[in-house]
Chains A and B, each alone.
Chain A
Amino acid sequence: MTATVSPEVSFTRSPAAYRHWNLRIEGAVAWLELDVAEDGGIVPGYELKLNSYDLGVDIELYDAVQRLRFEHPGVRTVVVTSAKDNVFCAGANIRMLAGSSPEWKVNFCKFTNETRNAMEDATEHSGQTYLAAVNGSCAGGGYELALACDHIILIDDNSSTVALPEVPLLGVLPGTGGLTRVVDKRRVRKDRADVFATRSDGIRGKTAVEWRLVDELAPRRDFAEVVRQRALELAGRSSRPADATGVELTPLEPDGYAYRYVKAELGAETVDITVHGPDEHATDWLLTMTRELDDLILRLRTNEPELGTWVIRTAGDAETVLAHEEAVLGKPDDWLCNEIIHYYKRTLKRLDVTSRSLIALIEPGSCFAGVLLELALAADRQYILDGPPIEDEDSPLRASIRLSEANFGRFPMGNGLSRLESRFYQETDHLAWLRKEIGHTLTPAEANELGLVTDALDDIDWEDEIRIVLEGRAALSPDSLTGMEANHRFVGPETLETKIFGRLTAWQNWIFNRPNAAGPDGALRRYGTGRKAVFDRKRV
């Protein structure tokens, strides 16, 4: 099987046009039923049998998870189940993986984990608890889907199992999130996790409960009723408002990569991204900008894998940004403000785990203030222009940045730290000093002195220096850059998220390229042929 040409992927979906999911809202409970159309693969060449999924299936799931948070404030429990008899989900479609390029595979795994994180985030921060109603066999990514839920009910029919059979069946792929969630989230004992993950047929019934792989069992006849009861119980614990009206997530309709507040231009090796601040009277700026940025990151990641450097700029008025920010961040008890804050947090996290070099350019006319300063802090390097705009040397306009409360913990990274804490890891004095600068307009020299930028370059050097930075970047090995950036960005403590994404970037990139997986006789090539993979027995 050869790697297929990847199609241009759009992430725009709407529930009425879902091909693989049924979304049904019944009061406080939403039912999200997986019913995969076998012939509905996002790329031709494989059938999505047994409710197995590919990127297209997960894009719909992501859309549903987002809409449930914004459009349905009344929903307090989301039941994830299958519309097919005897099968919950068989996980990622293996023929799809076998026919995909390594970058497609890793991107796919990254996206599915981001979606699962979003489900967990909804449970933790939004009062929308996810409940997995596992009504049949549940393997691999199918079990990962269940693991992303707060509570797992397994049908007790004496034959349905949960399984992570990647190791015994495929010989590749462990470490896309399932194993980490098993030991870190569900605290399954490591020896049992080892037994579990080396059994191709999985674990059923009482043992699954005893080992904490699932939370409870329900007999077939009572299954629907037990699930309903549990869903209502979980709903009872939520603080989501009963009487709020949702916000409709209307289609974004970009022109190429140009949205209302976010624009990207593609170069030969780089992407120039500009994020615009709010218009004077815009009330929905943060939500709209976040949606646009989110969509842009996903599309660039999937469709432009060779554009390895993203140059990030902002344009607009810092005061307006901070005023808008205050309007949203000042009301964390308002359900919608809460949703917007967490959505922006998740989008920044998506940026953090994106395997592209991120360079922030802070120029006159930019508005890297508060929430938007996070974009610069997320970047691998920041350069500020210390002088007039390049195209207008008579202009009095100068670049500056502004810190706000938002930079001190409102948008934590996957490691649980703010971007400032990550930047100044364990330098509490420095952080205290920075805190005193909240609200001040920081000049290029001040920004440099405070350590908030990599360098402040004057207008004579600017163009050449930036060109050299970008060209130098483009000359380096993309893989080594990916490895380096993933290490630098996540200092300090390991969390479930850093483990998952760290392993995705490093181990999976490696495992997916090894002959044992991708070679002519490797596991992915041999899968589905009835012939066994040939392994290089050397352990590395």
Chain B
Amino acid sequence: MPEKIDYDAKIPNNVDLSSDRRLQRALEGWQPKFMNWWGEMGPTLRTQGVYLRTAVSVGREGWAHFDHVHVPDYRWGIFLAERDGDRRIAFGEHAGEPAWQQVPGEYRADLQRLIVIQGDTEPASVEQQKLLGLTAPSLYDLRNLFQVNVEEGRHLWAMVYLLHAYFGKEGREEAEGLLYRNSGSPDTPRILGAFNEETADWLAFYMFTYFTDRDGKYQLGTLKESAFDPLSRTCEFMLKEEAHHMFVGTTGVDRVVMRSAELIREHDTTDIAAHGGIPLEIIQKYINFHYTVSLDLFGSETSTNAANYYTAGLKGRWNETRRKDDHQLTDGSTFLDRPGEDGTWTQDEVQTLLALNLDLRSEYIADCRTGLKRWNRILAENDIGYRFSLPHPGFNRNVGINRGHHITPDGTIVDEATWEAGRSKWLPTTEDLTFVRSLMHPVYERGKIASWVAPPLNGINGKPFDFEYVHLP
């Protein structure tokens, strides 16, 4: 059984790499290119050791090991969740057949495309966050940033493994392509728009890890259902690591809100900018921006591609096996809100099979609401009347049915002039971004933290907040 991770190998893995010399050679050829990429595009800040979590097993118990690690020496590797030998395809026209251990020739191009797109997003966020280490609000946060970054790097490895192991020469070329595209590059940008946006400050980082990484969770969740078993097992294990990224986002925003609430009470004003805090309105604008950019990642509300992937068994729904329907979706229908030229909303009836992106997005939106509840609870506990909200899914959209329409956060359809007039109330302005950036001073002293964010309630792996999470030169 290949479940045990072989840490003595040059590339740690639980796929019995040592017995597959072709694959081993391919991955060993890719490894130095990855290291070059990491050197160029990875975190700018040099450290002498970061208290990182490294996966040591893929089982349910005790899978992680914590220690200080010199970041470039992090043991990136290939870890797949344990194999269920009896796994059956859960949906689509192959439902009930044994899961595929090899790529069916018929679906080779589609699977490769899905993996390349997923793979392209993983290193993108490392590139987007390249400079953040220079302005970390505490050693604890700095450590989390590195943790997120090395794991995104490993997620890239996970996709590269699939490309190398199952897609031959073309797969190897695509794997190289993943390192040649770069976030925000004018010549070779990342494939999806949201991954070419800048993550310029730590509030954006928390928002990104809350909203955009959460999109990743849902995308991985659909790939976890895939009939192609290696992809399914890879994604299952990635989801485990992804959970921590979202924890960073959730608690990060918690702590910003908590600190702002403290300052509001302390100074008895909501205008806390002068006191080194981030006003609640600006936080709301960040929510509006990151949430809507992330909604775009779900694609068009109706999608033939998604339907084809589903029928073929390549990509399922969130929690596919827990759903109580026929898992074919050829009959049912659902409703989709469509903005009209006359300023009213109408409902289109669309086939369930064609509305899979909408289905996934709805799951995501419900999940996002839980964060809003948490942050509002903090405000309520501090007797502050302000409440955060998620904007309407039609607001500020560049993809899908709402694209080209002017929709306010409360879902009112307005004309362009009205919308533009409201923009500065709804989305971060240059002044807002400049102000937030002005707060971004690094705090590298043990147990200390920046003015605009509260310390975490708990440290990492039972360590206290003032633990030396990062050794700096």
Q: Mask for A153-187, Cβ within 8 A of B = 1, else 0? A: 00011110000000010000000000000000000
Question: Which interface class (under 10, 10 to 19, 20 to 34, 35 or more) fits A?
Answer: 10 to 19
- Pick the contact of A157: B110, B189, B308, B311 (CB < 8 A): B189
Contact A158 B188, CB 8 Å, known A201-B112, A530-B310:
yes
Residues of the A chain whose Cβ atoms lie less than 8 Å from the Cβ of B177: 158-159
Compute how far the CA of A326 lies from the CA of B270 in the bound complex, rounded to whole angstroms.
89
Q: Indicate whether A441 reaches chain B with its CB closer than 8 angstroms.
A: no
Which residues in B have some Cβ–Cβ distance to A below 8 Å? Answer: 93, 109-110, 112-113, 177, 180-181, 186-189, 191, 304, 306-308, 310-312, 329-330, 351, 353-354, 356
Give the tally of cross-chain contacts (CB within 8 A): 57
Docked complex: A67-119 residues within 8 A CB-CB of B: none
Asked if A219 CB lies within 8 Å of chain B CBs, one says yes
Per-residue CB contact flags for chain A residues 297-331 toward chain B (1 = under 8 Å, else 0) read 00000000000000000000000000000000000
Q: Are the C-beta atoms of A529 and B186 separated by less than 8 Å?
A: no
Picked from B180, B304, B308, B330, the residue with its CB within 8 Å of the CB of A158 is B180
Interface pair B186/A221, CB less than 8 Å apart: yes
Q: Are B308 and A530 in contact (CB under 8 A)?
A: yes
Q: Which of A219-238 contact B (CB under 8 A)?
A: 219-221
How far, in angstroms, from A158 to B180 measured CA to CA in the complex? Answer: 8
Q: Residue B351 contacts which of A157, A159, A219, A529 (CB distance < 8 angstroms)?
A: A529
Name A481-540 residues within 8 Å CB distance of B: 527-532
- Dominant secondary structure of chain A at its interface with chain B: loop
Q: Which residues of A contact B (CB under 8 A)?
A: 156-159, 168, 199-201, 219-221, 527-532
Q: Which of A157, A168, A532 is B93 in contact with, Cβ under 8 Å?
A: A532
Cα distance A220–B306 when bound, in Å?
Answer: 29
Report whether A531 and B353 are in contact in the complex, using a CB–CB cutoff of 8 Å.
yes
Instruction: Name the A residues within 8 Å of B93 (CB-CB).
Output: 531-532
CB neighbours of A221 from chain B (8 A):
186-187
In the complex with contacts A530-B308, A532-B308, A157-B187 CB distance below 8 A: yes
What chain A residues lie within 8 Å of B191 (beta carbons)? 159
How many angstroms from the CA of A482 to the CA of B277 in the assembled complex?
80
The answer for the CA separation of A219 and B188 in the assembled complex, in Å, is: 8
A529 touches B354 (CB 8 A): yes
Which residues of B lie under 8 Å from residue A156 when comparing CB positions? 187-188
Bound CA span A325–B391, Å:
71
A199: B residues at CB distance < 8 A: 109
Q: How far apart are the CA atoms of A159 and B189 in the complex, in Å?
A: 9
**Alpha-carbon distance between A332 and B109 when the two chains are bound, in angstroms:** 52
Residues from chain B with a CB closer than 8 A to the CB of A527 are 304
- Inter-chain CA distance A159–B182, complex, in Å, is 12
Whether B109 lies near A168 (C-beta < 8 A) is yes
In the complex formed, the residue of B with least CB distance to A94 is B304
Q: List 16 A-B contacts (CB under 8 A).
A: A156-B187, A157-B189, A201-B112, A220-B188, A221-B186, A221-B187, A529-B307, A529-B351, A529-B353, A530-B304, A530-B311, A530-B351, A530-B353, A530-B354, A531-B93, A531-B353
A200-B110, A530-B304 given; 10 more Cβ-contact pairs under 8 Å: A156-B187, A157-B188, A220-B186, A220-B188, A528-B304, A529-B307, A530-B310, A530-B311, A532-B308, A532-B312
